[in-house]
Chain A
Amino acid sequence: MPSHPKLANEFVKDKERAKWHDQSLWFVRSKRDKAVHQLPEWELLREQASKIKSYVVSHLPDLLEEFEKNAKAKGVHVHWARDAKEHNEIVHSILKQHQVKRVVKSKSMLTEECHLNPYLERHGIEIVDTDLGEWIVQLQDKPPSHIVMPAIHIKKEEIGELFHEKLGTEKGASDPQYLTESARQRLRQKFIEADAGITGVNFAIADTGGFVVCTNEGNADLGTSLNKLHIACMGIEKLIPRASDLSVFLRLLARSATGQPITTYSSHFHGPAPDSELHIVLLDNGRSEIADSDEFRRSLNCIRCGACMNTCPVYRRSGGYSYSNTVPGPIGSILGAAHDTKANSSLPFACSLCASCTDVCPVKIDLHHQLLTWRKEIRLKGLLPLSKRLSMKMMSWMMQAPRLYQFVGKMARKIVPYLPRFLVYNPFNAWGKQRELPDMPKQSFREWMKQNHDRK
């Protein structure tokens, strides 16, 4: 897989776009801050959420069985899948049984993780993503670049062009109101025609056997109420013990995600509608391995709000695609490394260790610590890229020889300001890419100390 720096390089080449992307996400981050400041008990809520989720991970098998028992008692069909392949086969077999030709899906990162769409399409089933952002990237034949705002990286003019081509909207039209209205009309048709609805799951409740799906558009509700088959796909970590725990999570989720006090629709499903079927697929796909690791267990607390990527200076400037992982940003780097360390070995390095992600995470995952731990692990596994290994070796050699360090510093301060650009900004200087180096100071810190303090 291409490394993060390589893919990020593509993105930052377009300076304007990188800046615009950065600002769009910062706007969302600011909205989050405003919403959070309206609740004096915010930190208390985070603490409860973190405790509840840690409890879940330490009692997962019991809670899963409790959930299954209660869901079955309400007439829900419960399925278990070890990996993505099995997940897709289960979904397909249910659809086949009902002779389903057309499916509407509401946003679910889990089905993205499993590549469900191409799988079903190969089997002759039409599957339409109905979340507007997700539908836009589906029309482009691309994955989402953000877990909450799938099309955050695309400009309205490009969407206008795409809609013109695919839906026949007016050429050159780029007004979000107009484009959304066209999408509404077209997708209504899809909702009406569909034979089945697939949704993700935000929270599944062990003590009631029900689950909750949150959307702003109402697409999960339209997609599941107009037909007689609803399939919900969830990762096994999405469980919570009690319905009352939702009070904590629903207060945290939307505020962290977009700065809204709550999503427009927070729908609770407890059993199928009359004459209908409700299926739920529980997927492991590597989650049980993460649960078993003392270092990374807490990453399973994640409620997929996206706050960590909105605030991440690296994500904001490099775009979601540079992570080439279903979940990008800080949490995606941790989950990606856990899932396939070799393929994703550059992700934990796409981090400045500023810890902003840890500050905003509503379930108190120590994201930047985990990223640092991953770096160590990757070094131990011998998966560091050569350039990093070499420069780290040289650094450590120099740090161990104070005189050498002083000498190199002195020379650099004298020489660098007079060097021609091509010598400073060359392929060996990764820091100098897309940014100017700061001016060299006239004196070292050691010299400054000597002058200003030793004399006393």
Chain B
Amino acid sequence: MTASREAILNKLRKQSIPETELPDLQQPELTQQWITYPDPRQQFSDLLASIKGLCLQVKNVEEVNQRLAELPVYQKSNNICSLIPDCGQPTVNVDDVTDPHDFKDIDFAILPGEFCVAENGATWITNDGGPLRTLYFLSQHVALLVPASEVVPHMHAAYEKLHFENRSFGTFMAGPSKTADIEQSLVIGAHGARSLTVFLVEEPF
């Protein structure tokens, strides 16, 4: 296999391709033109709604609990797990799960998110890729708790926050899983979560 590596690299090295410059994405001429929003939280909330998610701006975990109890999908859930202390009424303890397959019957998962992006309704989540990572995708319904102060206007600001040294996995989640592969009709709940609720929480949790 190393022979192919050398072959490909040698072939590419032999070529004389005119050199071009890599643009500096931090230069003010660019950054001044990126879109901003008067109220990024509201923008995030509206955007998430437009891609079929739900954003709720709340004061604290207590209020999260109240709002959860009002959610019909939460009321109907039997197997609930939570990675946020004192949040929700978990029925499944995730601490000692080592095989992600054990999560296959989770109806509702309450999970942490790191920050939100106003321009596209995405929430960044990250972890070390252990079994808990599966919860974000395998659970039927997902709620994310994000500090309300952590809403950035656009993706450039998002990548300023991101580093990839420690965590092996991270994703931008934007709304519930969806598909339009059958005659362009939008269907929510393809493989991943059937619903996504993002709580922007004012007080620390």
Q: Which residues of A contact B (CB under 8 A)?
A: 24, 27-28, 39-41, 44, 48, 51-52, 54-55, 57-61, 64-65, 74, 79-82, 86, 90, 130-133, 136, 149-152, 155-156, 159, 176-177, 179-181, 183-184, 187-188, 191-192, 205, 208, 210, 216-219, 221-222, 225-226, 236, 241, 243-248, 250-251, 258, 260-274, 276, 282, 284, 288, 291-292, 297
A264:B192 contact, CB within 8 angstroms: yes
Nearest-Cβ distance from residue B167 to partner chain A, whole angstroms = 7
B76 at the interface (CB under 8 A from A): no
B130 nearest in chain A by CB position: A274
B159:A243 contact, CB within 8 angstroms: yes
B179:A132 contact, CB within 8 angstroms: yes
Nearest-Cβ distance from residue A94 to partner chain B, whole angstroms = 11
Nearest-Cβ distance from residue A210 to partner chain B, whole angstroms = 6
B19 nearest in chain A by CB position: A58
Chain B positions within 8 Å of A260 at CB level: 51, 174
A248 nearest in chain B by CB position: B25
29 A/B residue pairs, CB under 8 Å, sorted by A? A40-B35, A44-B30, A55-B22, A81-B4, A82-B4, A130-B191, A132-B190, A152-B184, A156-B182, A181-B189, A183-B190, A184-B189, A184-B190, A208-B164, A217-B177, A236-B8, A244-B156, A244-B159, A244-B160, A246-B155, A251-B119, A261-B120, A264-B173, A264-B175, A265-B177, A272-B168, A273-B133, A291-B12, A297-B17
Chain B positions within 8 Å of A241 at CB level: 22
A213 nearest in chain B by CB position: B171
From A58, A80, A226, give the contact of B4 (CB < 8 A): A80
Known: A82-B4, A176-B183, A274-B128. 19 other contacts (CB 8 A): A54-B20, A55-B22, A61-B13, A82-B7, A136-B182, A149-B184, A156-B182, A218-B177, A218-B190, A225-B137, A243-B159, A243-B164, A247-B155, A251-B119, A261-B122, A265-B171, A273-B128, A273-B168, A288-B12
C-alpha gap A155/B182 in the complex (Å): 7
Beyond A247-B25, A263-B174, A265-B171, whether A64 also contacts B9 by CB under 8 A is yes
From A90, A151, A248, A264, give the contact of B181 (CB < 8 A): A151
B182:A44 contact, CB within 8 angstroms: no
From A41, A225, A258, give the contact of B129 (CB < 8 A): A225
Binary contact readout B14-26 vs A (1 if CB under 8 angstroms, 0 otherwise): 0101111111010
B182:A179 contact, CB within 8 angstroms: yes
Chain B positions within 8 Å of A264 at CB level: 51, 173-178, 192
Nearest-Cβ distance from residue B18 to partner chain A, whole angstroms = 7
Which residue of B2, B23, B164 has the most chain A CB atoms within 10 A of its CB atom?
B164
B33 at the interface (CB under 8 A from A): yes
B17:A292 contact, CB within 8 angstroms: yes
B181:A150 contact, CB within 8 angstroms: yes
Chain A positions within 8 Å of B13 at CB level: 61
B167 nearest in chain A by CB position: A270
B25:A244 contact, CB within 8 angstroms: yes
From B18, B104, B180, B191, give the contact of A184 (CB < 8 A): B191
Beyond A266-B122, A268-B171, A273-B168, whether A24 also contacts B183 by CB under 8 A is yes
C-alpha gap A182/B190 in the complex (Å): 10
C-alpha gap A428/B171 in the complex (Å): 56
Chain B positions within 8 Å of A291 at CB level: 12, 15, 17
A222:B138 contact, CB within 8 angstroms: yes
A75 nearest in chain B by CB position: B168
B47 at the interface (CB under 8 A from A): yes
Chain A positions within 8 Å of B192 at CB level: 217-219, 221-222, 264-265
A48:B159 contact, CB within 8 angstroms: no
8 Å CB interface, B146-164 against A: 154-156, 158-160, 162, 164
C-alpha gap A447/B176 in the complex (Å): 64
Nearest-Cβ distance from residue B107 to partner chain A, whole angstroms = 14
